[in-house]
Structure 1
Amino acid sequence: MSTLYLFARIAGTAVALRTDEIEAVVRLKEVSPVPGVPPHVAGLSALRSRVLTVVDAATLIMGAASAAPPWPDTGRYAVMCDVGGHSYGLLVDGVDDIAAIATPPLPLCGRVDRAWEPHAQGVVENDGRSHFILSIARLLDHCGSAQAA
């Protein structure tokens, strides 16, 4: 049995997101900042008559602002998802591919950057390149934990 993954980049790192957690991938052209929110919350955006909480995945994981320019005219890629009845747009640096992977995920081996340890659940390969497997729900759960801290 194969698993369908979206292959993307977050903070310059290759990641794989299971497509059963994803509603769509969109380009967000505008995000309205919200005062008083943690740095990983980029703001709010309206899309298809829905309000999305926009989370900068690079800032959440690495603790620093994403290297991508804040809002270029072309917009930024966001992975749309619904977690716990709330709509989110998870900002990623770029989207590379979508593919079904038949082989089971590999365990994390070697040295993994401390920032990625709580988030990476394993590794899959696509086009000869290794990608960390991330769970969007788990990542956003850490988002709530980071906000509470």
Structure 2
Amino acid sequence: MALDYQTSQEFVTVRIAGQLCGAPVNEIREVFAPQAITPVPLARPEIAGLLNLRGRIVTVIDARIRLGLPAREADAPCMSLGLERGAELFGVLVDEVGEVLRLGQDTFEPVPAHLDPRWRALLCGVHRLETELLAILDVDRLIAADMAMAA
């Protein structure tokens, strides 16, 4: 996903294992607290399972596992970013959802070359904030493997 800055772009901020990440607002359908995730036998580790969201089946992807981070405690609270691609719904599990930030091209940097290959493949850049970096998730790449499996 190429970021398209005309003057600025809005990002939903999330925390994943302490790391501040962002996703473009226009990519997110909704944010919700996942309930009753049903595990799927023989699914890849990053697939947390399926859930029913207002009558629609949602494939739930654990962002921690996808990014190679330690698994969340079984009873730890989490939130989900709801994404829709074609007829498929996806929920990306994150530890917490923060605010929406409007950022311009002036704080944007390409993905650093020294990052783990998994991170490099799932990010489209970083923004320099006052106290930390905001890693911008490429949500299409984050769910791409799951979309291929669903087809």
Q: How high is the TM-score relative to the length of structure 1?
A: 0.83
Aligned to 1:120: 123
Residue 131 of structure 2 aligns to which amino acid in structure 1? G
Residue 7 of structure 1 aligns to which amino acid in structure 2? T
Residue 22 of structure 1 aligns to which amino acid in structure 2? I
For structure 2, the residue ranges without an aligned partner over 5 or more in a row are: 1-6
Aligned to 1:141: 144
Aligned to 1:40: 46
For structure 1, the residue ranges without an aligned partner over 5 or more in a row are: none
Distance 1:31 1:71 in 2: 13
**1:83 to 1:11, Cα distance in 2 relative to 1, 3 A:** farther
Aligned to 2:11: 5
Q: Is the 8 A contact 1:61 1:115 kept in 2?
A: yes
Q: How many residues align?
A: 143
Aligned to 2:4: none
**1:93 to 1:22, Cα distance in 2 relative to 1, 3 A:** same
Q: Where do 4+ consecutive residues of structure 1 move more than 6 Å? A: none
Residue 8 of structure 1 deviates from its aligned partner by 0.8
Q: Is the 8 A contact 2:14 2:96 kept in 1?
A: yes
Aligned to 1:69, what secondary structure does the other structure show? coil
Distance 2:53 2:75 in 1: 16
Q: Is the 8 A contact 1:29 1:71 kept in 2?
A: no
Aligned to 1:70: 74
**1:127 to 1:31, Cα distance in 2 relative to 1, 3 A:** farther
CA RMSD of aligned residues (A): 2.2
Residue 89 of structure 1 deviates from its aligned partner by 0.5
